[in-house]
Amino acid sequence: MQTRCHLSLLVHEQAKKYGERTMFIYRDFGSTRWVSMSWQTFSDKVRQTSNAMLNLGVKVQENIAVFSQNSINYMLTDFGAYGIRAVSIPFYATSSEQQIQYMIADAQVRFLFVGEQEQYDKAYRVSPLCPTLERIIVFDNGVKISPQDTGTMYFEDFMKLGESCPRQSEVDSLYSQANDDDLCNILYTSGTTGDSKGVMLSYGQYSAALIANDKAVPVSDADVSMSFLPYTHIFERGWLYLCLSVGAKVIINTYPKEIQQSLRETHPTCMSSVPRFWEKVYAGVKEKIDNANPVRRRLFMKALAIGRKYNIEYLSRGRRPSPVLRMKYEMMNRTLFSLIRKQLGLEHANIFPTAGATVSPEVEEFVISVGIKMIAGYGLTESLATVSCVHLDKPRTIGSVGRLIEGLEIKIGENDEIMLKGPTITKGYYKREALNAEVFDSEGFFRTGDSGYIKNGELFLKDRIKDLFKTSNGKYIAPQMIESKILVDKYVEQIAVIADERKFVSALIVPDYSLLEEYAREYGIKFSTRRDLCENVLINKMMAERIDTLQQQLASYEKIKKFTLLPKGFTMESGEITNTLKIRRAVLVKNYCTEIEKMYEE
């Protein structure tokens, strides 16, 4: 049962309930050993953190910032800040120096908590350009602090400031003053246009979101959740707090690239993720099917057909499967599907919320067919994550993003724009009064910038309104929809569709070079560099055939007619993608103007 209270009190109330039961499973920086921390220990350390912050000089509703990958110290910092009514501002661990300099200045941050060497080095380099910044606190004891740096301290030394909780009476007083109108977080959206905005999130928004999501999502204290996405991402942050509010154990995965190994080592029951994770799972399984002998291939395709019929045609639509179908599915589930889940480390799979981008119908069908309950959803930083999600007790349609959570009002505005109003919607952007006046209409509805429609109570997304392309022939193209279809191919790592004011659709494609190089060696294609592969006629022919297969269901004007393979990926450093891996199309068009123009030469 969910514990409902002010977020600043949540971990302490849960400690009374769960005591020495495990709360977090995590690894220290650089360690390969998983360790655990109980609810009571975490609660005690949070109080110590709050005391340390008071002794450091943090004020009520002052902005502090965390520039780190996921870690136990990150959690202590956030909840310690909540305990003294401070505002925690998370920075992506991959943020550039320019980005963190802007955010520190915009939020007038005095105290910055950083993770490892990379984050410390960036913070220290920009510190002379940040007049408000007084002190850097480093989570990882292995970080080498510059000899010239006299203002930085390690987190363990910071925690000593709160030993024995000398100011606990003040902390208790601040607990009693905490209210729903207080700011809890400011989350800076990196934005596909490069225009960074600080989304203000209040405690009241969190309270409303936790209650509404608890009614829609079946997670409980029997669950073990893997934190895969960065805590800077509102989807992960909202999901984490929901899990904590019901008493679930949480595994902190510090290094995203190690997620597959972490899953196999810890066996979680649930995890929030973006579609790209499942696209890679789908591509990996599909490759094994393609390489299997004919008998095994037929068996697997038959199993998938049974899984699809059972889980999608029947259960997802609220229909009861026949005894024969149930028996067939249970046999496949005990053998083939359970093996797939075991290889992923998901033997005890419960639910897997997925949002942040368009989920390909092929991927969604596959995941559900093999017995993994993917909960597709839609949300924004401005809506404190969830706007809608699949409700497992109600019929679902593949391709929808589910049904609205309780408390939200929706209307479809001009250009089919989704507009929202309710207790989980932000009051606006930090210090951006002019913009705030633009993003809300006269009735108080927030303009999301996403287009969509509602059918039979389910929400369907179309595309970002500003991302819609209009070809020179007057046809409108939804690039994200096309990209999601191509991304399921195992040889495609990244793709950017080009079409605006062009005669036809083209694309820039970054291949998965580990697989492409393997393919080249298998077929005797000689190469010395990645550029050799990109320019090879046989490679391009193979890629063209795969792309044509994937876009068979598209209208002729939507299909990619030409593409260019790129020898290097889109990067955050070049400004081509955001911290949440969304494409900045204007930057890509500028950076690859020569390659793009060549595709349109007569």
Is 92:24 a contact under the CB 8 Å cutoff? no
Higher model confidence: residue 193 or residue 558?
Answer: 558
Specify the amino acid at residue 497.
V
Strands 417-421 and 446-455: antiparallel
Residue type, 376: A
**Quick check: helix, strand or coil at residue 295?**
helix
Backbone angles phi, psi at 129, to 5 degrees: -95, 0
Q: Are residues 451 and 502 in the same domain?
A: no
Strand order in the sheet with 224-227: 35-38, 22-26, 249-252, 224-227, 270-271, 351-354, 373-380, 385-389, 403-404
Q: HEC string of 43-101?
A: HHHHHHHHHHHHHHCCCCCCEEEEECCCCHHHHHHHHHHHHCCCEEEEECCCCCHHHHH
- pLDDT band for 257, please (50, 70, 90 cuts): confident
Residue 267: inside a domain: no
Identify the domain boundary among 258, 291, 306.
258
Helix (H, G, I), strand (E, B) or coil at 423: coil
Question: Whose CA is closest to 84, among 186, 201, 173?
Answer: 173
In the predicted structure, residue 193 carries a pLDDT above the cut 70? no
Average pLDDT score, the chain: 93
Q: What are 203-246's pLDDT values in tens digits?
A: 999 999 999 999 999 999 999 999 999 999 999 999 999 999 99
Token pair, residue 232, equals 């800077």
pLDDT in tens, 22-80: 999 999 998 999 999 999 999 999 999 999 999 999 999 999 999 999 999 999 999 99
CATH of the domain at 32: 3.40.50.12780
Report CA-CA distances (Å) from 21 to 11, 15, 38.
13, 9, 5
Does 392 share its domain with 344? Answer: yes
In a domain, 319, yes or no: yes
**What residue has token string 């995965």?**
253
Three-state SS at 455? strand
Show which of 420, 440, 465 is a domain's final residue: 465
Q: Give pLDDT tens digits for 270-291.
A: 999 988 899 889 988 888 888 8
Residue 313 — pLDDT band, cuts 50, 70, 90? very high
Going by C-beta distance under 8 Å and a sequence separation of 6 or more, which residues neighbour residue 144?
117
Please determine, for residue 434, whether its predicted confidence score (pLDDT) is greater than 70.
yes
Q: Give the C-alpha distances (Å, rounded to integers) separating 119 from 96, 197, 570, 587.
A: 9, 21, 21, 25
φ/ψ (deg, to 5) at 599: -70, -20
pLDDT of residue 192 exceeding 80: no
Q: Please report the pLDDT score of residue 205 as a whole number.
A: 98
Predicted confidence at residue 578, as pLDDT, reads 82
Instruction: Let me know: does 21 contact 40? Beta carbons within 8 Å.
Output: no
Distances in Å between the Cα of 77 and the Cα atoms of 109, 219, 275, 276, 404 are: 15, 25, 29, 30, 32
What per-residue confidence (pLDDT) applies to 480?
84
Which residue in 499, 512, 511 sits closest to 554, CA to CA?
A: 499
Give the number of domains in the chain: 3
239 and 113 assigned to the same domain: yes
Q: Which of 227, 223, 221, 252 is nearest to 239 (CA)?
A: 227
In a domain, 263, yes or no: no
Residue 354 pairs in a beta bridge with 273, 376
How much is the average pLDDT of 412-427? 95
Burial class (CB in 10 A: 0-12, 13-18, 19+), 314: middle
| 170 shares a domain with 51 | yes
pLDDT tier at 465, thresholds 50, 70, 90: confident
Supply angle C-alpha 127, 129, 130, rounded to 5. 65
| pLDDT of the residue at 190 | 66
d(CA 12, CA 3): 11
Confidence of residue 96 (pLDDT cuts 50, 70, 90): confident
Judgement on whether residues 195 and 221 belong to the same structural domain of the protein: yes
How far apart are the C-alpha atoms of 6 and 91, rounded to whole Å?
24
Instruction: Tell me the average pLDDT across 538-544.
Output: 95
241/302 same-domain check: no
Please indicate, yes or no, whether residues 407 and 497 belong to a single structural domain of this protein: no
Residue 246 lies in a domain: yes
Over residues 479-494, the mean pLDDT reads 90
Q: Return the pLDDT at 352.
A: 95
Ranges of H-type helices in 348-497: 361-369, 433-439, 479-486
- Residue 297 within a domain: yes
- What is the structure's pLDDT at 173? 96
CA distance 101 to 439: 26
Q: What is the DSSP string of 198-251?
A: EEEEEHHHHHHHHHHHHHHS---TT-EEEE-S-TTSHHHHHHHHHHHHTT-EEE
Residues 342 and 456 occupy one common structural domain? yes
- Which residues fall within 8 angstroms of residue 57, CB to CB, at 6 or more apart? 110
Same domain? For 507 and 369 the reply is no
Say whether both 207 and 346 belong to one domain.
Answer: no
pLDDT attached to residue 168: 96
Whether residue 554 lies inside any domain: the answer is yes
Can you give the residue range of the structural domain that contains 448? 275-465
Same domain, 529 and 440: no
Q: Are residues 408 and 507 in the same domain?
A: no
Q: What is the C-alpha separation between 248 and 225, in angstroms, rounded?
A: 7
> Once rounded to an integer, what is the mean pLDDT over residues 295-318?
92
Residue 350 has pLDDT above 90, yes or no: yes
Q: Quick check: helix, strand or coil at residue 384?
A: coil
Average pLDDT (582-590) is 86
Sequence-distant (≥ 6) Cβ neighbours of residue 432 within 8 angstroms: 197, 198
**CA-only gyration radius of the chain, Å:** 25
Spatial separation of the C-alpha atoms in residues 310 and 308, rounded to whole Å: 6
CATH number reported for the structural domain that contains residue 521 in this entry: 3.30.300.30
Distances (CA, A) of 230 to 40, 96, 255, 272, 374: 25, 16, 9, 11, 20
Which of 398, 433, 465 finishes a domain?
A: 465
Give the pLDDT of residue 356.
78
Q: Is residue 358 part of a domain?
A: yes
More confident residue, 297 or 78: 78
Strands (E), 327-445: 351-354, 373-380, 385-389, 403-404, 409-412, 417-421
Residues 6+ apart with CB under 8 A from 4: 207, 210, 211, 245
Mean pLDDT check: name the lowest of 464-468, 479-483, 593-597. Answer: 464-468
Establish if 269 belongs to a structural domain: no
pLDDT in tens, 129-144: 999 999 999 999 999 9
pTM of the predicted model, to two decimals? 0.86
Q: What residues have CB less than 8 Å from 156, skipping those under 6 apart?
A: 141
The distance in angstroms from the start CA to the end CA of the chain is: 65
Q: Is the pLDDT of residue 581 over 80?
A: no
